[in-house]
Structure formats: structure tokens, C-alpha cells
Amino acid sequence: MHDSHEFKIPFGPQHPALKEPEGFSIALKGEKIMGVEVRLGYNHRGIEKACESKTYIQAMYLVERVCGICSHSHSTCFIQAVEEIAGLVVPKRALYLRTLVGELERIHSHLLWLGVAGHEIGFDTLLMYSWRDREVVMDILAKITGNRVNYGMNTIGGVRRDIFPLDAQAVLKDVDILEERTKYYIELALKETTIIKRLSGVGVVSHEDAIKLGAVGPTARASGIARDTRKDDPYAAYGELKFDVITSDKNDVYGRTIVRVLELMESYKIIRQVIQNLPEGPITVKAPRKIPAGEAISRYEAPRGEDVHYVKSNGTEKPERVKMRAPTLANVQAVKHMLKDRYLADMPIVIAAIDPCFSCTDRLIWVEDVNSKKYDVMNWGTLHAYSVDWHRQHGINFSKLNQELAKKMERA
């Protein structure tokens, strides 16, 4: 799409009249970012307030849609708080099924991320390849929950659907397939020099800084912080399952890649344990419509990191207060830190690497050239093209890998 001519960011002569209410503002010096401001809120819908006028079940369906990629995470995190307030003992089988859907969600999310990351660095075939694998997961989820996304699996006191033994066996077979394919991604990540070169030293956050910045999820784990809610504060069935917390000492986007692909392998391990040890029994326990007055705080390790929900009840059938802290919000400070004094061309992958829960491709980027004091507004597409082009000029070219992977896809 772009020739090898030099891609310059056009700067307008004047301060454009309109500044978008959300997006990124960058102070640019030459090719380097001096500072970044992030303006969020474009998808602030007012969900917390709306929950106060809905029943707990209605609120749960709303909460599920905070983010369409980790919907089960939000739904489960919320319902756990409600169940704690009500003093409900959720049946083990339900906890295992919640865990199953949660890990399937993690897998689909990490594969999604792999594709997006591939696209951002110019390795577009990886998007096609990994999302093709992701469809295996989408099929499993649709089979056992009834939907590809927004599974509606939870209810207060358990889950709404049980799993048929035949479907459970089918899941095991699919996990075997996915594990084989994931080995290819691990090989790519560990051996392909183009990928290693492109992702290493990019988006660096030291271990100490990651702690100070309050990073969560794979972003934190890639800076050596062994923080994983599934281990630190076990919920659902995780207290009874064997798995490792994956960390890396690379502190960069490459580390975040390694963490995610290895976490996929852990998810396969967990799913096998869940299905092979699925307890017999009911999938739900009776729950009152009016939840007694109380409060609870619930944590959940979503694919992006720790999700935190606080619920306060007042004895009625509607919550008094629902507070949700999604993982991406916790990583925002870290992103500003990662971009400072770095190349503009690294911005797309750095932002993609925290796996943001806001749709990045629509955010506008407001760029001020520190030297000329001129401004421009870039859309993500322009930034992406600039980034791929810039790296191509610096010797990183994915055309060979794209061709190889395309051939591999045809053969498969």
C-alpha cells in the first residue's frame, strides 16, 4: 500500500479549531514523543448509575456489556460480590463452569490480541491466521453458552447452563488442536528475529516503575511482577487448580507477547483440569431477589488484568452502589510512561500491547510539533501506516513472514 518514499507527518500551519474530546495528545520533537496526554471517556455510558435503578439480574446483563471482549469477567466479578453479600454458597459445579468460560474467554482474547498486535507491526497475515484459530474458541463458546460473545452464563447463585458430557469431550479435543497451533505462535515469538527485533526495547517499563504505576495483567507480569488474581485472591475454582503465573523479565512489548502466548498454554492446562474433574451436583443455588444490606469487593483476573467490582446493597432488589474498575484504566499511567521519549512509530504497538479495552482505531491523535509549534490531527490509520513505513526504513520488514504464513494457511 505504501511505497518506500519517506512518509512525513503533515503538519498544518494553524491550530485547528476543533480539538476532539477524546484521544491522545502528543508533543513531538523530531521523531520522538516528548509527552503524551490521554483523554478517555468516549465510551462512558453511565453504567454505574444505571445499575442503581435496575434489579441485580438486570444490572448483571448491563455489567456484562461494559466490555465485549471480557464480558464474562465483568459479569462474574459483579455476581461474586453480590453472592458474597447474600452469603450464598455457590455449588462447585457452577464454579468450575464459570472457570471454563473464563479461560475460554482468556484464550479468545489473547488470540485476538495476537492478531491485532500482528496487524500493528505490519504482520497482517498473523491477524488472519490467529483469528482463524480464534474461531475454534468462538464455536466452543457458542456451543456451550449459546452466544459467541456476551455469554449470559451467570446468574445469582451459579450458572444458567450446564454442559453435556459430549460437548465437554468436544472441548477437550478442540483444546488439543488449539495447543498445537499455539506452539507455532510460541515458536514465532521465540525464534523469529524480525519479531524479536521489532518488539524488543519497545514500550519499556522497569519492574520498579511498573509497581509504582500500578500496572496490572500481562503488562505487569511482563515487568516481572508476579501479580495474578487467580493466584493472589483465588475465586471460582482457581483455588483447586494447578497452573503457573507467567512472568517475563523483559519489561517490554516483547515480554508482553511472551507472557500472553505462554498464558494460552496455562489456560489449556486449566480447561483440561476443569473438565476432567468437573464436580457433580447442581449448577445453581436459590438466591433471594432482595439482597440483604451489606457490601463486598470482588476481584477477577480478566485477560487484560485485574478487574475490581464493589457492590453495596440496601436490602432491596436494586443495588445501592456498583463500582467497576476495569483493568485498562489501571494501565493508563503505564502507557504514558512507556511512550515518553520514544519514537512516534512505536506508539501503535505500545498501545496495542496493553490490550486496551477502548477501541483504539477510532481514537484521534492530536500531535504538536515542539519545534515548529504546528499542530495536526492524525487518525489511527495514518499513524499505523507511518509506523509500518518507518520500521521498514529501519530494516524491519514483514513481507517475507507474511508470505510464509500465507502459504502455511493455504496448506492447512
Partner 1 sequence: MVKEENMKQEIIRQLNVPEDKIRIVRERRISLEADYAVFGKILDFAVKQLRFDYLCAITGLDDGDRLSFIYELAQGDGIMLSLKTSVPKSHPVLKTVTPYFLCADVYERELVDLFGAQVEGLPEGNRYPLTDDWPKDQFPLRKDWTPDLLK
Partner 2 sequence: MGVISRVVTWARIKSPWVLHFNTGACNACDIEIVAALTPRYDIERFGAQLKGTPRHADVLLCSGPVTRQIEDRLVRIYRQMPEPKFVIAVGTCACSGGVFQDCYNVKSGIDAVIPVSAYVPGCPASPKALINAIVKLLKSLEESEAKKNAKAV
Which residue from 46, 286, 371, 411 is in contact with partner 2, where contact means CB under 8 A?
A: 46
Contact partner, 308, from partner 2, partner 1, none, Cβ < 5-8 Å per class: partner 1
Which residue from 128, 285, 297, 377 is in contact with partner 1, where contact means CB under 8 A?
A: 297
Cβ at position 177, least distance to partner 2 in Å: 15
- CA dihedral in degrees (219, 222, 226, 228; nearest 10)? 40
44 binds partner 1 (CB under 8 A): yes
Contact partner, 127, from partner 2, partner 1, none, Cβ < 5-8 Å per class: partner 2
Q: For the window 131-170, what string marks contact with partner 2 as x by the rule CB under 8 A? A: xx-xx--x--------xxxx--------------------
The interface with partner 1 within residues 248-267 (CB under 8 A) comprises none
CA distances (Å), 158 to each of 6, 62, 79, 163, in order?
A: 58, 18, 9, 13
Residue 365, beta-bridge partner list = 24, 378
Contact partner, 167, from partner 1, partner 2, none, Cβ < 5-8 Å per class: none
308 binds partner 1 (CB under 8 A): yes
Cβ at position 305, least distance to partner 2 in Å: 16
Which residue from 152, 201, 214, 279 is in contact with partner 1, where contact means CB under 8 A?
A: 214
Cβ at position 383, least distance to partner 2 in Å: 11
Q: Which residues bind partner 1 (CB under 8 A)?
A: 21, 37-41, 44, 46, 48-49, 84, 211-214, 226-227, 229, 231-233, 296-297, 299, 306, 308, 310, 312, 321, 323, 325, 329-330, 332-333
